Structures are given as structure tokens and as C-alpha cells.
Amino acid sequence: MSVQREDVDIKLIAIDMDGTLLNDEQLISDENRKAIREAEDKGVYVVISTGRTLMTCRELAESLKLSSFLITANGSEIWDSNFNLVERKLLHTDHIQMMWDLRNKHNTNFWASTVNKVWRGEFPENITDHEWLKFGFDIEDDDIRNEVLEELRKNKELEITNSSPTNIEVNALGINKAAALAKVTEKLGFTMENVMAMGDSLNDIAMIKEAGLGVAMGNAQDIVKETADYITDTNIENGVAKAIRHWVL
């Protein structure tokens, strides 16, 4: 699918990491690096917008030497180019307790992010001692996953997405990549109309929908492709570089 969007004046490219910028070895290809560098040299901002925390993406982000902002934990945090915190929105500990109970009830795989640690396999005894950004379930069984989703959706204070077909990611309501990007564009002096956003999962839908140009990866979930204006190649075929070359360079 291709859409004629030559009228879009792209001043910022927002790129998801897993399943988008990164290949299946969790690396950034030389082609993607080169296209990003050329876009930045042309004066277009490139912003990584990821579900990962700063701890788990900083090294990769640093290697790109980007000039503006970094969005982490699905928009819970915004960092400047020197990795100073610009903004942070936390998830209430009551919600974490509820999700931890739900996780134990169904005995699912999980991970959870506090401001200084990603918890996998282990969990703190005192939930209230920590500042929480995100909680995630990873559930292979469709029935159990749907049951957990149903339970979560009863709570109107949660933002529920995923970053792969088998997982569920939960942030505080109103926290998503689009809302964070809107703040970034405001700081830079333009609007979401000047953004090209690329991603593959449900946590990318908001920014793909609200950007002037929304791009889905060739490996994206179907609903993401249906939302996008344009579909590029997969994450292992340098889809990011191809979209940048097609629309920006």
C-alpha cells in the first residue's frame, strides 16, 4: 500500500526500536544508521520512541548520536540529547499491586519497569518503595491472555497496548508515544503534522495515527498496517532506511 503524501513537510522522524529499527539480532543495521545520519544532516530530527526503559536502550540510542529527544517506556519518560530527564509520568502503586495479583492468579510471565530497574523473574516485596513506569505480561495462551486483558480493561485508569502479539503492556492512562511526541514537537516549534512515525505494534498505533505520515513495518501487526498511511519493508530488510529514503531523502 502506498499513499501520496508529498504534501507532508517532515521535520521529525519518530522510530520505534524492537521490531522496527532493530533487526532480529537486536542490532541497528548499517543501512538504517546511514539513512538516519543523512536525515539528521539534512536538518530533520530523529527521535527514538520505544517501550524500553533508558537502561535497556541507552547504549543503542547513544550510538546514533541524535540531536534532540528520546522517548522511553511508551512515553512515560522524555529525555534530552544528553540523557537529562525532561518529563516522567508514573504508574500508581495500587495498579501495580492489582497487576501483580493478576499475574500470580494466572501464573504468567511478566516484566515491570521502575525508574532504575527492569524486574523479570523477581519482584520487590514492598511495591510502594519504588517508582513504577510500566507493567508487562507475556502470555502465549490466547485464552489466558484475553482473560487478563478483559480484567485490565475494567480499570479505566490504564493505557493498555502491546509490543508483540503475545504480550500486554500497561502504562498510566494518557501515557503513549503520541502524547510524548506532541510534547517534543511543541518544544521544537512544530506539530504532529510534521512527523513521520514508524512502528510495528499496538504501542505504536497512537503515534502512527496522529503523525502527518504514519508508517507500518512489513512485519507489523495487521491492525498497525491498517492504521498506517504507508507500509515499508520488514525490520530485517532495512524497512526504516527504505521509508526514510522514500519520504525524506
Please list, in sequence order, all residues whose beta carbon lies within 8 angstroms of the beta carbon of residue 204, skipping any fewer than 6 positions away.
Answer: 16, 20, 49, 177, 197, 198, 220, 224
Site of grid cell 500470580: 104
Question: Out of 7, 16, 229, 233, which one is annotated catalytic?
Answer: 16
**What SS3 state is found at 144?**
helix
Q: Examine the residue annotation and report whether 16 is marked as an active-site residue of this protein.
A: yes
Q: Which of 17, 44, 14, 13 is nearest to 28 (CA)?
A: 17
Count CB-CB contacts under 10 A for residue 165: 12
Strand order, beta sheet including 132-138: 117-119, 109-114, 132-138, 167-172, 158-161
Q: Which of 21, 18, 40 is nearest to 165 (CA)?
A: 18
Task: Characterize 186-196 residue by residue with b for buried, 16 or more Cβ atoms within 10 angstroms of its Cβ, and e for exposed.
Answer: eeeebebebbb
Query: How far apart, in whole angstroms, are the C-alpha atoms of residue 36 and residue 31?
Result: 9
Catalytic residue numbers, as ranges: 16
